[in-house]
Amino acid sequence: MTKASLICNKKNNIDLVLEPIKGGDTISTLSIKELIDASEFTKLRINNGNIKNAVAELNDVLKPLQDKKIGRTIRYQVLERVDAKVSITIESDEMGATAEITSAQGGKHLSAKAILNAAQEAGVKKGFSKEHLIQLAQLAAKQIPNSQIDMQIATGKIAVNGKDALIKPLVESAQARILKPKKREDGSVDMRDLGDIICVNIGDPIAKKVPLTQGQQGYTVTATPLSPEPGNDVELVAGEGTNISPKNTNILVSEKVGLPKLINNGMEVDEIYKIKNVTVATGNINFTGSVIIDGDVTEGMKVTASGDITVGGFVESATLEAGGDITISGGIIGRKHDIEKKHITNITMSVNISAKGSIYAKYGQYAQITCYQDVRIENQLLHSTLDISGRLWIGKDEQANGKLIGGYTKVGTSVHAGIIGATAGSNTIINFEHKILKFKDEIHQLEERLKIESDKTNELKAAINKLKKLPKEKARPELVAKIVPTYQYHANQMGEILNEKLIIEDSLQEYIASVYVEATEKLYHGVELIVGDFNERSRREYGPSKMIYRERKILIDPIVNT
């Protein structure tokens, strides 16, 4: 019987050695593979071709032999030790590199260092993960022979863009202070105790510029640098009563004793007049600068300031007029009117608040409010008349959850409240007429200009036609040549005016489509929205809703919270 054995050769691979003996069981490719499977060399790569060659040669040797005779020894390498291999792939954007390992077949495993070297030879230069290199080497060593495993071993670093420069106030503004009353020990707030009035002295730092940053440079795995975008710069603005510090150009200091106020990219300091209360005993106040009233403004009194007016208490049936903002810690209280028996627009309220800037108050009732910017009432606004150019917001700073009940509001952009209207169906009228009337006035002026140009054009055209009809002996071509350019000029003017009119008409329609009233909790019946020539009144109670103008109609749409 032929003997078959597996023997290491000089290359540390395995040879199949066959010693042919005529007779006995036949050696086949199957029996040789069974021999391999039973050996310690199962992880090595099999050379099936050499196994077939060995079996064929064995048969050739055995064929002429006599029974039990020994033939020449046959030797073929049938098992080979194959080392692990690694392939490196660099992503198209060069922000990552992956190593794929084909596990060893009885050969050497790859070390983390060997994987690193292969990656470097492939062009990977930066962003290696030591942990991933070690982990990949360990996992590959445990894989079944000739299987693949891959892992990202290097990652580029994205450039981090710089931060924009910003202006940081170093003192608190009056609005922030008023709308943030002190807490008592039991957690409640004392609306009367607002702490010390914020007042700065000469030389006090009031704002600083935090310079822009250049950002952090990134790189690809092939070490290509990635440049960041630096932040945008802003200029520190020295408003009235302030100046840039001579010691630090990024610091704004006060030049006088006064009230600090935020402006775009800076601050200003108003001269201030400070008083405890405004009563009959103090008389009316008329001051060039800002006025701070620790307590109340009582009935019949008037406070006028070119800057801000800050009231720590209440304003009751009094008049406030400010060239800046008005901030009222308490409330705005007017005398009750029987508004149901008289049209709301014909009522003159006993309390009148007017500001060129914005108005802030805790609550208001039976008040007349005029404002060139935004109005924010923190709790509720009852039966008041408003004429404001910006937005009406009733509620907390972060959420419009207050109440708007009754009254007549002319507003510029939008109205936001938690509850609008009341169960009693109080008339609550909201009218977006400010910009609409302005647009219509501009359109009317253009139409008048258009009529003038049209009349001139028709007059000149008639003159040209008349001259052209004259007989040859009376023809005056030089006069026609003189009139034609004038006619063309006025015709061109008509075209420009028509284009301007179309642009304004489009802007008017865009504005009308942008205004809205938003009730985040409830919209009661009796709330009327007027947008130009269109108006609609709510006729039942709604949940969270928005009143808008669309396609020549006033619609009430539910607010869906997602």
Q: Model confidence over 482-528: pLDDT tens digits?
A: 888 999 999 999 999 999 999 999 999 999 999 999 999 999 999 99
Residue 345: DSSP 8-state = G
For the chain, give the percent of residues with pLDDT over 70.
Answer: 93
Which residues, including other chains, have CB under 8 Å from residue 251's CB and lie 6 or more apart? 205, 207, 208, 209, 244, 245
| Side-chain half-sphere CA neighbours of 173 within 13 A | 20
Q: Is the pLDDT assigned to residue 346 strictly greater than 70?
A: no
Q: Please report the pLDDT score of residue 184 as a whole number.
A: 56
SS3 371: strand
Summary mean pLDDT of the chain: 89
pLDDT score of 345: 57
Q: At what angle do helices 130-142 and 112-121 cross, to 10 degrees?
A: 110
> Which tokens hold the place of 523?
């919209």
**For the chain, what is the largest distance between any 2 Cα atoms, rounded to a whole number of angstroms?**
146
pLDDT band at 191 (very low <50, low <70, confident <90, very high): very low
Q: At residue 175, what are phi and psi to the nearest 5 degrees?
A: -65, -45
- How far apart, in whole angstroms, are the C-alpha atoms of residue 148 and residue 507? 64
> Residue 451 to residues 454, 487, 489, 493: CA-CA distances in angstroms?
5, 15, 15, 11
CA angle centred on 320, ends 357 and 176, rounded to 5° = 50
User: Where are the chain's structural domains?
Assistant: 3-80, 85-155, 166-270, 390-561
Phi, then psi, of 486 in degrees rounded to 5: -65, -45
Angle between helices 29-37 and 48-62 (to 10 degrees): 130
Structure token pair of residue 401? 């959850």
Tens-digit pLDDT profile for residues 257-279: 887 888 899 998 878 888 899 99
Question: What is d(CA 12, CA 20) in angstroms, rounded to the nearest whole number?
Answer: 24
